[in-house]
Chains A and B, each alone.
Chain A
Amino acid sequence: KAGVTQTPRYLIKTRGQQVTLSCSPISGHRSVSWYQQTPGQGLQFLFEYFSETQRNKGNFPGRFSGRQFSNSRSEMNVSTLELGDSALYLCASSPLIGTANSPLHFGNGTRLTVT
């Protein structure tokens, strides 16, 4: 079974630009979560989607947004990029939501560098 696939693996953008990251979950998984990983803060929750609906959102500004499609694939968008947005963005999928047997399975991330 294929794992979580994230594209692209690396991105370099300039301040003020916007960026879209893509995530394909494990087949059959309906929940997709996004996390930002930085050396100082570790993994921080961005948002979570289940059945095309955003179920939870972390403490990030409105510049960070996402969506989920009917095939469970998800995209994350960051507008008006800032230097502090440089990070590894991780997508994780799980088969269900809110149950004990729903651990997260991560992709290898998209490394975003903002210059």
Chain B
Amino acid sequence: QKEVEQDPGPLSVPEGAIVSLNCTYSNSAFQYFMWYRQYSRKGPELLMYTYSSGNKEDGRFTAQVDKSSKYISLFIRDSQPSDSATYLCAMRNVRNTGNQFYFGTGTSLTVIP
């Protein structure tokens, strides 16, 4: 079993829809969470990061962490065609003194105009 599980999709939504992307994890020592967006032929781009349970909002994006359920989500409001990309969740074990992160395999999102 992988430490981080993410539904690969693909996910296809109409422009303006609310998108929900999710990851589950098995290691309770994971306490630092990030979401990345990756366009084709590009490297992952950091969208959001959080170090605690609860919600964090940044523009149209909201990251949600539920440590009791070992479940994290990324919500995209008013989705745009430019949001079409692969979304990766990532997390770090705070007991690790380094910067090794564990990634989900990514969810492919297409926003249809």
Contact = CB atoms under 8 A, between A and B. Distances in A.
Interface of A: 4, 6, 31, 33, 35, 41-45, 48, 50, 55-56, 58, 90, 94, 97-98, 100, 102-109
Which of under 10, 10 to 19, 20 to 34, or 35 or more describes the interface residues of B? 20 to 34
A97 B97 contact: yes
A48 B103 contact: no
B49 A45 contact: no
27 contacts: A6-B43, A33-B100, A41-B105, A42-B88, A42-B103, A42-B104, A43-B44, A43-B88, A43-B90, A43-B103, A50-B98, A55-B97, A55-B98, A56-B96, A56-B98, A56-B99, A56-B100, A103-B46, A104-B46, A104-B90, A104-B99, A104-B101, A106-B43, A106-B44, A106-B46, A108-B42, A109-B42
B60 interface: no
A103 B103 contact: no
B7 interface: no
A109 B100 CA distance: 18
Contacts of A42: 88, 103-106
A107 B101 contact: no
- Dominant SS at the B interface? loop
B34 interface: yes
Interface in B18-52: 32, 34, 36, 41-46, 49, 51
B98 A98 contact: yes
A41 B46 CA distance: 20
A45 B51 contact: no
A32 to B, nearest CB: 9
Interface in B58-113: 88, 90, 94, 96-106
A46 B47 CA distance: 23
A105 B103 contact: no
Contacts of B36: 106
Contacts of A102: 99
